Structure 1
Amino acid sequence: MSDPMLSVHGLHAYYGKSHVLRGVDLEIGEGEVVALLGRNGVGRSTTVKAIMGEVEPEGEIRFRGERIDGLQSHEIALRGLGYVPESRDIFPMMTVRQNLILGIKDMKKPGRWTIDHMLEMFPNLAARADTAAGVLSGGEKQMLTICRTLMGDPQLIMIDEPTEGLAPRIVHQVGELIAEIARAGVSILLVEQKLSIALKIAARVYVMGHGEIVYNGTPADFATREDIRKEWLEV
């Protein structure tokens, strides 16, 4: 891949004395959707946290050609890298609309996403636009978290387990939102357990095992690799 938007080389990370990431390499191109698969506990969430500066990284991380390893999370975000954590962090006492406004990085420079656009895509958020976000369902909080990140107009967005614990109908809506983000030309790194969503949206697939990348290929190639699925994904 020539001039990737995001490149990670030799990434190591630790929690105390526990060596979680062991030399992770991955790349994401302009407008590309990449899925990061693997069982729980293999280091997928730690990978995106290390890229975002929430976990101290060792190794080289470049975003649009510039080193970002060692920067603070807010500095990385200002460069155009968005992050949707699995924890669905919203401000519960603020309204849905206020949460969305907080996602805007530059009030003088409109991005490709507007509050009206977000509320139009999700009528259930629109109906609660002036309601405290704390009363939303888990699925609605997930949508709000993704939409708030989009309000910052990121060039690449990392989304960690967006469908975890959601009802099938909401899973479908979240999948449609991620597909729409991709159609808008935003690069995506998707950490996801549900293969049906990941393989439908992604152009390439990485599989992690024991803190390392054990497979990298297209969804079509991955579909033929029963050995990879059995060894690294199936419980």
Structure 2
Amino acid sequence: MALLEIKDLHAFYGKSHVLHGVDLNVGEGEIVSLLGRNGVGRSTTVKATIGQVEVKGSIRFKGQEITGLKSFEIAHRGLGYVPENREIFPTLTVEQNLLLGEKKGKKSRWSMADMYQMFPRLKERQHTAAGVLSGGEQQMLTLCRTLMGDPDLIMIDEPTEGLAPKIVEQVAQYLNELKNRGISVLLVEQKLAIALEISQRVYVMGHGSIVFEGTPQDLRANAAIRKEWLEV
């Protein structure tokens, strides 16, 4: 069953029409990647899903329409979002940032100890102000803070952007760990190798609409799509 179903989604920034009838779905316990060059509408798709952009069309989560809800209402239903610009609280410590992610009154699948086990570097820096962390550490912190809210599906926008290869590897392991715990992932990613390695399905976007949908094997075999829509 599809946990997230997007049908005929149109999105607008003022008079600018950015998404043109996007259809996309993510199943339970599935990693799905949304690929494409910069500026084609990938980030807008996840922002629209979490209620940050004006839209027309249908977005259903766990079988219920969420179009028109506020971002915090969507998050409370179990949809997590990790934005590209990380949005940590710089003056708070690592631990305080993580505590802010918790949903009150809900027993989470994840504990603070889980976060520190996954990313030991965060444990080392738990009492450090988040603003002085490196880019890679801030990315780990943002991922973990979203997880502390115990989402059923997590949308992650460009998690490996600007990170060292070693940290990129850690992020890939983290995404697989989510899948192993039954959490679905919608990944917006530019690094083709990672997306093809960890995803069950991929979508390719071009000019505000989906131009390809299939398995990583299908995309590897389709040189024409890669050349036209992905390769620089």
Q: What's the TM-score bracket when you normalise by the shorter of the two chains?
A: over 0.9
Deviation string 1:46-101 (CA, Å, 9 cap, x unpaired) is 00000000111110000000000000000000000000000001001100001000
Which of 196, 201, 213 in structure 2 is aligned with 1:204? 201
Q: Which amino acid aligns with 2:196?
A: L
* 1:4 has 2:2 as partner: yes
Q: Residue 155 of structure 1 aligns with which residue?
A: 152
Whole-angstrom distance in 2 between the partners of 1:56 and 1:72:
11
Q: Within 5 A, what are the aligned runs for 1:41-80?
A: 41-80=39-78
Whole-angstrom distance in 2 between the partners of 1:57 and 1:17:
12
Question: Deviating runs (4+, > 6 A) in structure 1?
Answer: none
Deviation string 1:169-221 (CA, Å, 9 cap, x unpaired) is 11111111111111111000000001111111100000000000000000111
176-185 or 35-44, larger mean C-alpha shift: 176-185
* 1:96 has 2:103 as partner: no
Whole-angstrom distance in 2 between the partners of 1:181 and 1:65:
22
Structure 2 unmatched ranges of 5 or more: none
Shift of 1:109: 2.8
Q: Which amino acid aligns with 1:51?
A: T
Shift of 1:110: 2.3
* 1:109 has 2:109 as partner: no
Structure 1 unmatched ranges of 5 or more: none
Whole-angstrom distance in 1 between the partners of 2:121 and 2:225:
39
- Aligned sequence identity (%): 66
**In structure 2, the residue corresponding to 1:74 is in which secondary structure?**
helix
Q: Residue 39 of structure 1 aligns with which residue?
A: 37
150-159 or 8-17, larger mean C-alpha shift: 8-17
Which of 14, 26, 35 in structure 2 is aligned with 1:28? 26
In the superposition, the TM-score normalised over structure 1's length comes to 0.97
**In structure 1, the residue corresponding to 2:161 is in which secondary structure?**
coil
**In structure 1, the residue corresponding to 2:9 is in which secondary structure?**
strand
Which of 112, 115, 122 in structure 2 is aligned with 1:118? 115
